[in-house]
Structure 1
Amino acid sequence: MNTKLSIKSSQSYDYPLLIKKILYNAKYNSPNQKIIHHDGGSYNYLEFYDRVAKLANMLTNQGVGAGDVVAFLDWDTHRYLEAFFAVPMIGAILHTVNVRLSPQQILFTMNHAEDKVVIVSEDFFPIVEGIQDAFQTVEKVITISNKSSSSLKNYCGNYESLMKPESTQYDFLDFDERSIATLFYTTGTTGDPKGVTFTHRQLVLHTFSIIATMGSIQTQNRLRSDSVYIPLTPMFHVHAWGLPYITTFLGTKQVYPGRYDSKSILEMIKKHKITFSHCVPAIMNMLLQHSDSNDYDLSGWSVVIGGSALPYGLAKKALERGIDIFTGYGLSETCPVLTLTNMTNEQLNLDVEGQLPFRMRAGKPLGLVEIKILGGNGEDFTNETTKTGEIVVRTPWLTQSYYKNEEASEILWDGGWLHTGDIGYFDSDGFLNITDRLKDVIKTGGEWISSLELESMISKMNDVIEVAVVGLPDDKWGERPYALLHTNGLNITAQEVANHLSQFVEDGTINKWAIPETIEIVESIPKTSVGKINKKEIREKILKLRK
């Protein structure tokens, strides 16, 4: 389109959307607010800014320049937060290494990313020691530890020791906002992990859109400067869903838990009066099932659930404990947040049973998010509340490609929309509803069964802690559902589960053939490296046992 463009003065400033702009806001508006360390220490935002400058100087002096990749292996710590800013602010790329992958997968990601400098916490020395001989690009290793590091090759010093002499002054230059800021790897059902990158511009716009949604809309999921935040998803996974950038911009009090268990998190919630967190369902389950959980007051704690569907049973337990539990939706490739649950005053005034359906839905699109629902032949079902299709999206913060993987990138962006691989629809209230993953829909006798719908129904049984439903090959029907249940130790039988599901057959919610062919009670359900139920592994294990 032949539009008329603004004419720039010869001296006008073309303002780039860079991560440093996020940090500046906290430095000026919340200088004395605290960031709490997992070891009991703390510093304020002015001191945090000084630490970021010191890290920038230290990395520069270690030979890190624009475009170089710095790998970070650590738990959720204040040092990780320092790297979130310092590394991209000097024009380098932060590779947040998924420490829960297998050693060979980690090696693949580090070589594929072309990591130049590795910063590694003591707990992950064995991983690096086991794969370092096969590193292709690593020049230096920096440790977060007081422990001897003689077995690490290319060791150049301890993080704190190297930081100590550095200046708190650093001239963070401007550069192109389209420069890559972060890189991490997502695992799929097949092949090697795929690299996902985000630019400065994308991270800044993602930050601002969530702030606008959670700070301005009159709803339940408030996140503001007076909140107290603790991350309960790994910082290596999509920047802990982007919340550290958001809370830093707001100048929020932040608490970084390090390596944690259920008891330590419950203690931190009590001690620091935590008001906002995010996690996958498995973590919330872990906290609510802890033997001492009922001794802690969890009212007033807002928690956004993502990564996988929020089951009815878990949502009800959390809401009854006074937790403001609600759902967000997104992917590794989407930075990640696309939607959040925003409830009206009318919906919030409903009783627990009335609120649950709204809190379990995927939510409503953030500002600047466009979502379409595409049928199998490309039909647009976006405005069809009775039809489901694949969810495809556009926003300013979607990864533009898989790193050095052109073939997968073309599939991801087929037709100019990012394909999520999720099936869903918009209901009459404007909420996005996820019915299943394309790969997890159970196709039986020519009909589709939603594994997520079955899981939510089974979770309504009082003694069910977790449930997973997968489709397995069947000679007659194509596929049949198979259910795994983790219970609280009581003797729930497969027949009791089938009887429970029969009520949903009688009221027309599901068809009779949706009741799983096999219902197995297990001690635990396999999870992925980021805490999601691992349906691929479940299918593979069952099929292997059947052979």
Structure 2
Amino acid sequence: MTSGEMPNGDFPLLIRHLMPTANRSTVAGEIVDASGLRFTYPQFAERVARLAGALTACGVKQGETVAVLDWDTHRYLECFYAIPVMGCVLMTVNVRLSRDQVRYTIDNSGATTVITHPDFLPLLTAGVPELRLQKIIVVGDAGDFEPPPDVEMAEYYAITEAAAPDFAYPDVDERSRATMFYTSGTTGNPKGVYYSHRQIFLHTLGVLATFGTAPAQGRFGADDVYMPITPLFHAHAWGFPYAATLLGAKQVYPGRYKADILLRLIEEESVTFSHCVASVLRMLLDELKVRPVDLSRMKMLIGGGALPGGLVRSALEHRIDIFSGYGMSEAFAIQTVNHLTATEAVAELDEQLRLRTRPGRPALLCDVRTVTPDLGETAVGEEGEIVFRSPWLTPGYWRNEEESQELWRGGWLHSGDIGKFGEDGALCITDRVKDVIKSGGEWISSLLLESLISQVEGVAESAVIATPDARWAERPMALVVPREGYDLEVEAIRTALTAAATAGVIPRYGVPEHIKLVDALEKTSVGKLDKKALRARYVEQVV
């Protein structure tokens, strides 16, 4: 069936139906690339059609998986649409993984075609596993790269420019697999999660409904200028490229993340909405010392981990509308959003620090609960594991039935996080199931300790991990990265935590005996603290 045939008024929820509103000739928005290229939405529709046609001409057939390795460019946005709408599966490759992990994910996904920037060609060279590629499409000059035997090579711009500016998109099953990507994790090989056309369509509507109705701050609408600072390979940049395209909003794609380029684009293109992990925002704030830029128009959603209070303070000093969200790769990123109420938005600074670091309230269409080990719902204020149900959760891990069953134990998607809901309906995450610290039979929140430490002057980053203790079973250990140019003392951190204990913010047994200044903290490929690696490196020093 072609796109022009819809019997009985059927309207399947397909990714290609996220484009029509944005492709009206009256839409004023544009898509801008860091290279200086900019084009209108009707031109974007033509580019998507050309890419779909070019891939078809190269022999890519409906149902095949196409892997993409690229920086955050206009090309990636075109792939977001062209590959799924032609009935194929878009596999976004996490280029920050090791070479062996990259090869594992491509092999596990079943991809036979790769679209890649020349920077990532070395990841495709000989290794284990042997890739079963049939086609490599390179963006630009491949240099002296020699493809494996029997693998066809093509150049991206040559084949797309030669293709027609229209394409007869098929009406595929809305429940068919449209996209997939791999979670980096901290144990074993990365795990593949996947989503249907229907799920991406509904997630897009959920994002727009949630962010378009924000009561006091953090809104996202057609008048915003959007620039992702979350890699497009990671959870599809939390779904915002689809939402921005449906709105016809101006979009800016920064390429490879460099602080000076990001700030230049924010200033020159009048960017108003973005999202990233805490470490990237910290990088931008540090760059402001070299390149001052007015960020007072910026709305910045932070995810991928806890939002430290110290970072909130710094952002608010620059008048950034900073707020947090919560989800996971298996939940297509967004499950809760911390939009403040009108009353909360005018609270005093100290209260703002507390309010803005919360994960927030469930997004529209999301059922988020905290439960006991037997899946009984906990009471308000009582801790439990956070579980999800919503229209866009992954059905499981690709080709991994055992872990899929564990992920969906009892009919709920398990986050592995511990949290509780307050009387105001907002979620508070207290720890990871695997990262909790239980000392003398009492729980200690590593996330709360990290947030308190982040507010000490001179602290850049911190991580709190559990160390074995003969008397108390476990004790917290704080690892702290000093901010450049500060002569940070361990005693200053201990004094701040002791004061917090005296004020009743944390229990007295929550003050760590072990506080260590370090040069850097190990992170996963998407910028999250890798506490497994940190424990492996530092715990033996105090045992």
Give me the TM-score of the superposition, normalised by structure 2.
0.95
- Which residue of structure 1 aligns with residue 479 of structure 2? 484
1:256 counterpart = 2:216:
no
Given candidates 428, 444, 454, the residue that maps to 1:433 is 428
Per-residue deviation, residues 419-458 of structure 1 (Å, max 9, x unmatched): 1111111111111111111111111111111110100111
1:424 counterpart = 2:424:
no
For 1:20 and 1:149, the matched residues in 2 are separated by 37
1:302 counterpart = 2:299:
yes
Per-residue deviation, residues 97-136 of structure 1 (Å, max 9, x unmatched): 01111111111111111111011101112212254x7434
1:241 counterpart = 2:238:
yes
For 1:189 and 1:150, the matched residues in 2 are separated by 32
- Which residue of structure 2 aligns with residue 213 of structure 1? 210
Q: Secondary structure at the match of 1:164?
A: helix
**Counterpart code for 1:421:** G
For 1:27 and 1:11, the matched residues in 2 are separated by 24
For 2:123 and 2:26, the matched residues in 1 are separated by 38
* 8 A contact 1:328–1:362 mirrored in 2: yes
* 8 A contact 1:266–1:293 mirrored in 2: no
Given candidates 370, 379, 389, the residue that maps to 2:367 is 370
For 1:29 and 1:540, the matched residues in 2 are separated by 57
For 1:494 and 1:483, the matched residues in 2 are separated by 10
How far off is 1:167 after superposition?
0.4
Stretch moving more, 427-436 or 508-517: 508-517
Aligned pairs for 1:172-191 (under 5 A) are 172-191=169-188
- Which residue of structure 1 aligns with residue 139 of structure 2? 144
Per-residue deviation, residues 182-205 of structure 1 (Å, max 9, x unmatched): 111112232211110011110110
Given candidates 39, 50, 59, the residue that maps to 1:43 is 39
- Which residue of structure 2 aligns with residue 280 of structure 1? 277
* 8 A contact 2:229–2:276 mirrored in 1: yes
How far off is 1:546 after superposition?
6.2
Aligned pairs for 1:501-540 (under 5 A) are 501-540=497-536
- Which residue of structure 2 aligns with residue 404 of structure 1? 399
How far off is 1:294 after superposition?
6.5
Distance 1:417 1:134, change over 3 A: closer
1:349 counterpart = 2:307:
no
1:81 counterpart = 2:77:
yes
Q: Secondary structure at the match of 2:243?
A: helix
Distance 1:177 1:71, change over 3 A: same
Structure 1 residue runs without a partner (length 5+): 1-9
* 8 A contact 1:221–1:342 mirrored in 2: yes
- Which residue of structure 1 aligns with residue 3 of structure 2? none
- Which residue of structure 1 aligns with residue 333 of structure 2? 336
For 1:513 and 1:366, the matched residues in 2 are separated by 36
For 2:338 and 2:288, the matched residues in 1 are separated by 30
* 8 A contact 2:184–2:524 mirrored in 1: no
* 8 A contact 1:485–1:520 mirrored in 2: yes
For 2:247 and 2:288, the matched residues in 1 are separated by 35
Stretch moving more, 284-293 or 166-175: 284-293
How far off is 1:477 after superposition?
1.9
- Which residue of structure 2 aligns with residue 325 of structure 1? 322
Q: Secondary structure at the match of 2:335?
A: strand
Aligned pairs for 1:263-274 (under 5 A) are 263-274=260-271
Aligned pairs for 1:424-503 (under 5 A) are 424-488=419-483, 489-503=485-499
For 1:32 and 1:456, the matched residues in 2 are separated by 42
How far off is 1:155 after superposition?
4.1
For 1:252 and 1:203, the matched residues in 2 are separated by 18
- Which residue of structure 2 aligns with residue 196 of structure 1? 193
Q: Secondary structure at the match of 1:337?
A: coil
* 8 A contact 1:32–1:46 mirrored in 2: no
* 8 A contact 1:17–1:201 mirrored in 2: yes
* 8 A contact 1:75–1:258 mirrored in 2: yes
Count of residue pairs the alignment pairs up:
535
How far off is 1:377 after superposition?
4.1
How far off is 1:496 after superposition?
2.0
Distance 1:285 1:149, change over 3 A: same
- Which residue of structure 2 aligns with residue 106 of structure 1? 102
* 8 A contact 2:456–2:492 mirrored in 1: no
Give me the TM-score of the superposition, normalised by structure 1.
0.95
- Which residue of structure 2 aligns with residue 95 of structure 1? 91
* 8 A contact 2:103–2:131 mirrored in 1: no
Per-residue deviation, residues 191-240 of structure 1 (Å, max 9, x unmatched): 21111001111011011011011112332011111100110011100001
How far off is 1:543 after superposition?
3.8
Given candidates 16, 20, 25, the residue that maps to 2:16 is 20
For 2:99 and 2:66, the matched residues in 1 are separated by 18
**Counterpart code for 1:195:** G
Stretch moving more, 344-353 or 76-85: 344-353
